[in-house]
Each structure stands twice: as structure tokens, then as C-alpha cells.
Amino acid sequence: MTSQIIDLASWLLIAGGGIFCMIGALGLLRMPNFFTRMHAASLIDSLGAPMLLLGMILQSGFTLVSAKLLFIALLLFFTSPTATHALARAARARGVGPDLAEELPTATDREDK
Amino acid sequence: MRGDLVLRVIAKLLIPFILVFGLYVQFHGDYGPGGGFQAGVIVAAAIIFHALIYGLPLTRRAVPEWVVELMVAAGILLYAGVGVATMLLGGNFLDYSVLAHEPVHGQHLGILLVELGVGITVTGVMLIIFYMFAGRSRSPHSES
Amino acid sequence: MFESAVIALLLALTGALVRALLGPTIFDRTQAVNSSGTLAMLLLAAIGFMNGRPDFLDIAIIYGLLNVIGTIAVLKFFQYGDLGDPGNNADDSDNETAGSAK
Amino acid sequence: MRLVSTFLVLFAFWLLLSGFFTAFLMVAGAVTALLVVLFSRRMDIADREGHPVHLAPRAVLIYWPWLTKEIIKSSWQVATVILQPGLPISPTLVRLRSTQKTDVGRTVFANSITLTPGTLTVEAGRDEFLVHALTRSGARDLASGEMDRRVSEFEREL
């Protein structure tokens, strides 16, 4: 009974992860400029991938395989935002404009939201 | 890139684990995918990562160029030395079974040593290539 | 079921590769390559499960590591034009040196 | 002391990776962990910043569950934005004040911002971050400062 529930949960997670990866890739294609594309890519890194990995962990149970999957998830958890941040920083230093919708609100006038 | 604190902190966190992972691949060549070549590449990648974040001079201080050159030579020497040792013990070149009393143990030992030699050499060669590439472009006064 | 995950990942990978081909700036391409590296890593894991051989996970870990290091190396090359530069002159003053990368 | 704990963590990492508990591989793992500890000392990366083990329990028990919830929430928003035909984005750059005291805390904050889809850290300075947000509402959520407060709370007691 419990094994069936775990099975169902893992398939749901894997299906959801696949769908989110596809949505992220679609966003990568649809978004108009570089900075907005990066948000779509971070959808793949921070939701699609962990869901897929968690689904596989549930599939493989309490074994070394799931330990390795956990390492992959942790590796992504630490490295993907780092790479994204490095990209954004390098792009800005190189003068790729973020193409804003409004003027830059400063730290002071964010209080009156 | 040392000015960027995110990269600096994450690199500090990550490099020891990459090194352990590389050596894990080195020693588990007979259990899964892996072996000397891949291990050498991973270890070299960790050191290159250090150089990317903290700059070549610091890395050169941690891993001086003469050590790298020594590694290239020592790895090949280890490889060939195992081969010659097997010949001296009465087998063919790289015939591991004569290295210990039991052939199976000998084979394990021989493969381990040869893979170690390959790993050391690959690390050394990768690092030499990187040092040359990275040191070339702007600073002609290389500090070797 | 793993088959459908593999198909979804392949579709996403195609999207990322199309972006890498189209991408107007070098950063778009780097971003797309980084994403496709992540997707390839997941694909390796999923294919390993599909064939019942989770040995592939080691390769997936290696892929993930090299993906990040490669991305940062490319970025550093385009920002400084030199892989070994310590980059001590902090934050934004690097715009002039970045121009000399070409 | 810190070196010992680094050694233990790395050795545990090895054991989990390996899964073969033969004598030879255990010795090899111990030697590996020792070598890596010494080598990272030589590389000058084995300090408190590089091995923040003192933060691990709080991270796993308190901070990560909250972060997971945030990630799921904002992922859903970004996914709906991508799937709408009109593509209702309003990219915004915000300057945020960060109240963390250590570089590790700032890194945690910066990476948490980047990890939640819809917002990403462009510039991580000493006490001010430059953040790019996909939608104006995402920027407003971030500017309410809850994440900053939680990260500061999490990195305290150093």
C-alpha cells in the first residue's frame, strides 16, 4: 500500500519535472532578451531538475544510487545559481542592457510599496 | 574574479569535494566507469577551477610548475616501472600476475599502479597545458 | 514512464540548442549551453534508470562539475581575455579590459 | 579542529560514493581525505568560509524547507507567465539592502535570490545587491525583505 503511494508520488514528480523542464525550454525560446531568458533557464535548474531527481530517488529507495542522486541535486543546488550569477554579472559588465519596464527604484523608495 | 564573493565562497566549498570525487574515480576503476584518465581530468579541473577564481599566481604557489613537470615524468615512470618490474620478475611487459604470490592479487596491484601512473600523468599534462594557455596572453614575465 | 521523461528532456534539450544557435549575444549562447548541460546530466540519469544501469550517475556528476567549470571559464575568458587573471581590480572597472578580449 | 571535521566530512563523502567497504578502499578513502585536507590548506581554501559545517543543521532543518516553498511558489508564477500567450513580463532592476554580516551569509542570500525563478542577483556587493526581477510583483515580494531577514537569522550565532 505504502509502496504504491511512493510509486505514484515518484511518477508524479518525474512527470512534473519533465513538464517544467519543457516549460523552461519554451521560455528560453520565447523570452525577448537575455536577462528574461535567464529566468526561464532557472526554472529548469531549480524546479525541473530537483523534481526529476527526487522522483528517481523515490524510485530507487534507500540505496547508494539515491545517495548519488542526492549528490547531483546538491551539486546543482550550489552551482547553478553561482553560474547564473556569474553570467548575469559578466553580461552586465559587458554592457548587455536589461531592457527595463520601469525606472530603477532605489533602496530608499522601496519602503513605500 | 576574486572580487566576486559568491564565486569565491562557492569555489572554496566545492573544490575539496571535487578533489575527493576525482580520487574516488581513480580508485574505483574496476567497479564502475572510471579510471586513471578521467580521474586525472577531474583533479586537474579542480585545480583549474581554483586558478579561474583565485588567479594563476596563487595556484602556481600551491602547485608549482616543477611539481607539475615532475608529475608528468613520475606518472610515466610508474607506468613503465611496473612494466619493467613484471619483466624482471619473469613475465611479459605489464603481465601483472607475477607481481604478487597470487595472480589475482598481482593483477589488482598492477592495474592499480598503472592507473595511478596514468592519473598522475594526465593531471600533470592538463595542468601544463592550462598554465601555458593562461600564462601566455598578458604577462610575458612568467614567474616559473 | 522513464521513456516519457527522456522524451521530455530531449524536447527541452532541442529548445536549448535552438537558443544556442539563434542567441544574438555570446551570453545567450553560454546560457543555453549551461542549460543544455544540466538537461544532459538529467538525461544521463534518466537513461541509466531506463536501462536499469544506474552506473551512469558517476558520469552525470562529472558532467555537472565540468559544466560549471566550463561556463565560468568561458565567462572569464570573455570578461578578461585571460584565464589566469586574478581579477583583483574589483567590480565594475573591468569594462575597458573586457573590450580587449576580442 | 576544523581540519578534523573537514576530514570527517570528506571521508563520509567518500564512503557514500564508494559503497564498497573493503579494507583497501577504506584506507584509500582515508588517505584521499587526508591528502585533500592538506592540499586545500595549501591552496588556502580550508578556512571557516570554505567549510561552514556549523551552519549545516540550521540550513537543513529551518532554512531549506522555507526556501523550497518559495522556489515552488515563484516557479509556478514564472511558469504561468511563460505559458500565457501575451507574455506579461515587466523586467525590473531593484537595489536591495542586505543585512548579513559574513560573506557566507551574503552568498547564501545571493544564491537564494538567484535560485528562486523570477529573480536573480546581478551584482552582490558588501551591503547592497542589484537584483533583476522578471515581473514587478516579484521585485515587490523580494523588497519586502523577508528572505533577507531569514538569511540573517540563519547566519547568526557564528
Q: What is the pLDDT of residues C15-48, one digit of tens each?
A: 999 988 987 888 889 899 999 999 999 998 888 8
Which pLDDT score, from 0 to 100, does residue A2 have? Answer: 80
Cβ–Cβ contact B44 with C under 8 A: no
What is the number of CB-based contacts under 8 A between chain A and chain B? 17
Question: Which residues, in sequence order, are bridge partners of residue D124?
Answer: D129
- Collect all residues of chain B within an 8 Å Cβ-Cβ radius of residue C61: 21
- Domain map of chain B by residue range? 5-136
Mean pLDDT of B120-131: 91
Partner-chain contact A78 B4, CB within 8 Å: no
- pLDDT bracket for residue B52 (50, 70, 90): confident
Closest to B31 (Cβ–Cβ): which among D20, D49, D106? Answer: D20
Place of cell 547508494: A64
Burial label, A51 (beta-carbon count in 10 A; 0-12, 13-18, 19+) = buried
pLDDT category at D103 given cuts 50, 70, 90 is confident
Residues of C in contact with A15 (CB under 8 A): 1, 4-5
Q: How many B/C residue pairs have CB atoms within 8 Å?
A: 71
Helices in B28-142 by DSSP H: which ranges? 36-54, 56-62, 65-88, 103-136
Burial of A17 (0-12, 13-18, 19+ CB in 10 A): buried
Q: Closest Cα to residue D14, out of C54, C55, B24, B42?
A: B24
Q: Are the beta carbons of C55 and B32 closer than 8 angstroms? A: yes
- The answer to whether A15 and C4 are in contact (CB under 8 A) is yes
Which residues 12-71 of chain A have a CB within 8 Å of chain D? 20, 23-24, 26-27, 30-32, 35-36, 38-40, 42-43, 45-47, 64, 67-68, 71
Q: What is each CA distance from B84 to A49, B33, B115, D104, in whole angstroms?
A: 50, 28, 16, 52
Residue A97 in this model has a pLDDT that exceeds 80: no
Per-residue pLDDT band for C100 (boundaries 50, 70, 90) equals: very low
Q: Which residues of B75-89 are buried (b: 16+ CB within 10 A; e: fewer)?
A: beebbeebbebbeee
**Who wins on pLDDT, D54 or C9?**
C9
Give CA–CA dist D16/D19, Å, rounded: 6
Contact D106, D100 (CB under 8 A): yes
B12 touches chain A (CB under 8 A): no
> B144 to each of B74, B123, C79, how far by Cα in Å?
20, 18, 25
Q: What is the DSSP string of A6-66?
A: HHHHHHHHHHHHHHHHHHHHHHHHH-SSHHHHHHHHHHIIIIIHHHHHHHHHHHH-SSHHH
Residue A110 sits at the chain C interface (C-beta within 8 Å): no
Higher pLDDT, B96 or D25: D25
Structural Rg of chain B based on CA atoms: 18
Give the side-chain half-sphere CA count within 13 A for A31: 36
Task: Give A99's contacts in chain D (Cβ within 8 Å).
Answer: 91
Nearest CA to CA, how far is B59 from chain A (Å)? 21
pLDDT at site A7: 87
Cα of first residue to Cα of last residue in chain D, in angstroms, is 16
C-alpha–C-alpha distance, residues D43 and B22, integer Å: 17
C98, burial (CB in 10 Å: exposed 0-12, middle 13-18, buried 19+): middle
CA D50 to chain centre: 13
Structure-block grid coordinates of residue B85: 618490474
Hey, of C7, C57, C80, C95, which one would you mutate to test binding to chain A, going by the most A CBs within 10 A of its CB? Answer: C57
Q: Which of D19, D82, D139 is nearest residue A40 as measured by Cβ atoms?
A: D82
Best of C47, C63, C65 to mutate (most B CBs within 10 Å, chain B):
C65
**Distance between C69 CA and the closest CA of chain B, angstroms:** 6
- Residue C64 to residue C76: CA distance in whole angstroms: 19
Give CA–CA dist A48/A58, Å, rounded: 16
Sheet of D119-124, strand order: D92-97, D128-133, D119-124
Distances (CA, A) of D124 to B35, C49, D117: 40, 39, 17
For residue A89, which residues of chain B lie inside 8 Å, CB to CB?
4
The proportion of chain A whose per-residue pLDDT surpasses 70, expressed as a percent, equals 84
Q: How far is Cα B19 from Cα D9, in angstroms, rounded to an integer?
A: 13
In single-letter form, the type of residue at position B53 comes to I
Q: Residues C65, C71, C73, C76: is their CA dihedral positive or negative? A: negative
Instruction: State chain A's mean pLDDT as an integer.
Output: 81
Nearest to B86 by CA among D24, B28, B73, B78: B78
Question: Measured between alpha carbons, how far is C38 from A44 in angstroms, rounded to an integer?
Answer: 8
